Amino acid sequence: MKTAERWLSDPTRVPHPRTREEVATALGVSADVLWPKVVRSTVKTGPDREIVSAYPYRNACPTSVWAGLIDGASRRICFAGYTNYFLWQDHPRLADRLKRKGEDGCSIRFILGDPDSEVTRRREEVEGVPLTVGTRIRITLDALSKLRGTPGIESKFSDEHIALSVFTFDDQMLVTPHISNLLGHESPMLHLRRLGDDGLYDRFAAHVTALWENGRPVPP
């Protein structure tokens, strides 16, 4: 009885899940009715309901998540990372997988930084690592050269996403805002799923669309 009195007198006190279910069954009502605050705290509402997962570092996201998104997409994929270098390292036979998707009608776009641009040079000075930004971009360009002529696969240069990487897979995406002088894998990442108009997904998707429309063709 005293325990029940404490539940009633202090709305912040909530019994364990099993106890909640037992009490609800005894009273013949839903546990959600008795403790609505629990529902509000566990069920996402508003814009953040499009957030599937959040990772403190990009490389904290399991490779299986990336693989599932890549292999599961059938309509459109866009890799809007400044170098996209890590993709070829983390995903064996990625080129073959993308080639099959392109041939099956999936639109696949790469938006890369220009390895010879001033933006790239300045970023190399900030990072100060042996495997330079320009080198990482050229590794991606080399991989894409082997896919030249594959239907559906396109690429462009842009200097406007040095601090924000967005990777889209149909109605899901992975977003990495780059922090200061940290490398891409050291920055946080969000996994988003589109659930409505003008949500988080749509805002980042509009950014990617603008990058593509303002991008420069990658020369042969």
pLDDT digits (tens, 9 = 90+) for 170-183: 999 999 998 877 66
pLDDT on residue 220: 81
Q: On the CB side of 175, how many CA atoms lie within 13 Å of its CA?
A: 22
Q: Give yes or no for a contact between 189 and 181, defined as CB atoms under 8 angstroms apart.
A: no
Q: What confidence score (pLDDT) does residue 169 get?
A: 98
Strand-pairing partners, residue 79, are 110, 167
Q: Which amino acid is at 177?
A: P
State the virtual CA torsion across 24, 29, 33, 37 in degrees, nearest 10. 10
Report, as ranges of residue numbers, the positions in the chain whose pLDDT lies below 70. Answer: 1-18, 20-47, 182-184
pTM of the model: 0.79
